[in-house]
Amino acid sequence: MATTIGELELYPAFENMGVVSKYSGDSTGNNQATLRYRRKGTLLWKPGIPMTADRRDMITYYPGGGAADQTIPNFWARQWRAVIFGLAPSTEYEVKVTYTDPEGVIGTNPVTAITRTRNDNPPSNGNVYHVSTSGNDASNGSATTPWRTIQHAANAVTAGDRVLVAPGFYNEEVNVNGKIGTADNYISFESETLHGAVIDGNKELLRGFYLQNCQYVKISGFRILNSGGNPVRGSNCTYTIIEDCICEEGYWTGDDWARGGIYMHDNSHHTTIQRCQIFRYRGGEHLQCMGMMLAATVDSFTGAEGGNVIRDNDISGDFRDGIAHSGGYINGGLLNCFIYRNSVHDISDDDGIEADGPGVNVAIFENTISNIHHMAISLAPCSLGPCYVLRNLLVNCPDALMKLGSTSHGYVYVYHNTMHNPSGGQGPSSYGSNTRIYNHTYRNNIIATSSTAIRYGGETGSNPTNDIDYDCWQSGSSSQKFRWGNADSSIVGPTGDGKYTSLASFQEWTGQELHGIYANPLWVNPNVGDYRLQSASPCRDAGVMLPGFNDASSPWPHTGVAPDMGAVDYGAAPPPPTHVLTIIIQGQGQTDPTAGVWQYNAGIVAEVTAIPDAGWQFIRWTGNVVSTSNPVSLQMNSDISITAVFEQIVTDDVAVTITSLGHGATNPASGTHVYPMGSELVIEAIPDSGYKFDHWEGDASGSTNPISISLTQNISIVAVFIQLSPTPSIGWIWPALIGGVVAVAATRRKK
């Protein structure tokens, strides 16, 4: 049956674009599709990357929670899909897909479409309002008479309005509800100076910004701290931009994925998070907080959407995941999403980037992910694909550098990555409730580990769908440098357990990696993060050509005789500079991060908090920075050494304990009171009705009331009260002997 061409759908972001070309027919499954694109108005068509065909009528996927695999209709069947890389923002492009089929092609061929990439600096052409800590919400919000609260501005804005917030601390949760901008007229909340406007939750408020039911809203340049939930949260929001913000927290609490840095959920889609710094240090306590969590973002068979862009951010600290894209494994909104140029490091629990889900036209590229407690990247599973894992640097993850499995049938392309696990931990490995992995392709990677270099399992049948070749391997394991086995035991290896002690044995038994090499990659200086290749590296010119990924028309053209292996080519510019923060303690106390040596990318803001021990107090920071601020924020433009100075609390006060004996009170009241040494204290005894003050006991004496005492030491004083003498009955005459004298008291009897 011939191929009938359907719709060509384009999903543009800023620098990348998802392409979906639909067709019907082709019962023999042998049609082909070729992608071309060009900037509108130019003549030359550029070749795109090879497209991926999804011919599956049914799809098997893992529903999670330990349940058995399920097979359902494939709502994404009969499509050719791909991503176009290296585009310019806010630019029109023409795209065409040309079909061939031995049985014939029906319809306009090639099929074409035109779209414009998104604007990453969209205009706001409405009113400009001002907010200042010296303002008044009763004013008009002008530059000369600003408002006092950001919330007041949020209530007032309409499409195209800008809110400029002056430097200062704002103790408020800003609720932005139902505000609708447009693609060409964003509603924009901006700090007048970068990070000068600080939204401080003061450990009382749940959020910095809370966006609900909004479209085309931008939050730019704020420093947001001390929130109990999220610095920024969005519900049912579309085309949100969060940029240039610092989210610095040590307060998020609760075992809850919804708490953490930035959380977008409830059908929020086309979210952009760029150039933000997010960190949380709680002494290793991560609970379930995420650095970023983008939940669901639609699809659900299939409302599509997705479209998130996460780029140029720095995420670190006590999180479960650095970047998490949550939703259904088969029906979530992980579609046409681009996660790139991020630095994710020192995550205390699970993954650096978790991208489990359908993975349709998803690209994870040019990220640096290091020192993650478990894994750098999780694709467990990728259910549909194509998902592209390109030119990432993955370093030092104790479990594995990539987490795979959970019945992953999606098409995954792992190209030009550098993976280094020098202190334990594996390379790409099967994890999850099951280990079945299908349709993975590896090319031009360097994978060097102290444990097993790769551990794949679960594929069934003698016609494997996984294809691994032209990679460099190095493993410190003597018993299983490679592990590769099939669920039906059709591939078991020389020892019957899927373990291979050499590349040659792995090649012989699996047919994989026939052009690969096993060697020391010879990096320039991996100890300081320099993973460029030395001139003598065996990975130079050892890769294979990949159209659209390393050829002359790609964003990453190779410069040698052939492509190099790994993420960093020989002759590339050195990595961005890093600086060392040394934290020292003087006295008794702690710091967060803990005392020691920490490494930061240049320009990052590091925050350090001093925490005194009981009986001690924080005094100041000394060293390269002298300050009494706590916490202190440090711009890492050079190496910095600081000392947290703690001093023991010396008590110059005295304690006065006052007690009442009998029926009465004192002023000050009974209890223990603290007063400055050398001060004068006046104590007054106040008897109850029918009683009188008699005298002082303890560290005071006499019956003077009130009494004045000079305080030179801790003292204890007792006020003694006695009952008054009874009054004699009227009409009686009675004698009393007092001191040997008979005294007679008489009263007149009432008649």
Domain residue spans of the chain = 3-116, 123-193, 216-373, 389-575, 578-648, 654-723
Give the tokens for residue 30: 């042998």
Of 152, 173, 276, give the one whose Cα is nearest residue 233.
173
- Residues 6 or more apart from 650 whose CB is under 8 A from it? none
Rounded to an integer, the average pLDDT of 185-200 is 95
pLDDT digits (tens, 9 = 90+) for 651-698: 678 889 999 999 999 999 998 898 888 889 999 999 999 899 999 999
The per-residue pLDDT for 283 is 60
Min mean pLDDT across 256-270, 362-376, 688-702 is at: 256-270
Answer whether CATH 2.60.40.10 is correct for domain 3-116. yes
Rounded to an integer, the average pLDDT of 548-574 is 93
Residue percentage of the chain with pLDDT more than 70: 90
pLDDT beyond 80 at 750: no
The per-residue pLDDT for 748 is 32
Pairing of strands 92-100, 32-39: antiparallel
The per-residue pLDDT for 370 is 95
Q: How confident is the model at residue 80 (pLDDT cuts 50, 70, 90)?
A: very high
Q: How confident is the model at residue 751 (pLDDT cuts 50, 70, 90)?
A: very low
Q: Which CA distances in Å does 141 have to 137, 150, 153, 192, 441?
A: 8, 10, 8, 14, 57
pLDDT beyond 70 at 249: no
The residue behind tokens 């320009």 is 603
pLDDT beyond 80 at 435: no
Min mean pLDDT across 129-138, 215-224, 454-463, 587-596 is at: 454-463
DSSP annotation of 542: -
pLDDT beyond 90 at 503: yes
Report the C-alpha gap between 224 and 207 in whole angstroms: 9
Output the average pLDDT for the chain: 88
Q: Are 456 and 427 within 8 A, CB to CB? A: no
Rounded to an integer, the average pLDDT of 29-46 is 97
The per-residue pLDDT for 390 is 98
pLDDT beyond 60 at 730: no
pLDDT digits (tens, 9 = 90+) for 146-170: 999 999 999 999 999 999 999 999 9
The fold for domain 123-193 equals so0334 like fold (3.30.1910)
Report the C-alpha gap between 236 and 291 in whole angstroms: 20
CA end-to-end distance (rounded Å), the chain: 134
pLDDT beyond 60 at 255: no
pLDDT digits (tens, 9 = 90+) for 512-521: 999 999 999 9
The per-residue pLDDT for 330 is 67
Give the tokens for residue 367: 């990220």
Rounded to an integer, the average pLDDT of 125-146 is 97
Report the C-alpha gap between 270 and 713 in whole angstroms: 69
Q: How confident is the model at residue 745 (pLDDT cuts 50, 70, 90)?
A: very low
Phi (first) and psi of residue 209, to 5 degrees: -110, 135
The per-residue pLDDT for 596 is 80
Long-range contacts of 243-246 (CB under 8 A, 24+ apart): 243/218, 243/219, 243/272, 243/273, 243/274, 243/275, 243/276, 244/194, 244/195, 244/220, 244/274, 244/275, 244/276, 245/219, 245/220, 245/221, 245/276, 245/277, 246/195, 246/222, 246/276, 246/277, 246/278, 246/605
pLDDT digits (tens, 9 = 90+) for 705-727: 999 999 888 899 999 999 887 65
Phi (first) and psi of residue 173, to 5 degrees: -105, 120
Report the C-alpha gap between 237 and 214 in whole angstroms: 5
Which 3 state secondary structure label does DSSP give 526?
helix
The residue behind tokens 């009955």 is 729
pLDDT digits (tens, 9 = 90+) for 39-71: 999 999 999 999 999 999 998 887 777 778 889
pLDDT digits (tens, 9 = 90+) for 263-321: 998 888 999 999 999 988 666 555 678 889 887 555 545 556 789 999 999 999 888 89
Residue percentage of the chain with pLDDT more than 90: 66
The per-residue pLDDT for 459 is 62
DSSP annotation of 510: H
Name the pTM for this structure: 0.82
pLDDT digits (tens, 9 = 90+) for 83-112: 999 999 999 999 999 999 999 999 999 999
pLDDT digits (tens, 9 = 90+) for 564-576: 999 998 988 888 7
The per-residue pLDDT for 369 is 97
State which H helix or E strand residue 719 sits in. Answer: strand 715-723
Min mean pLDDT across 447-456, 660-669, 736-745 is at: 736-745
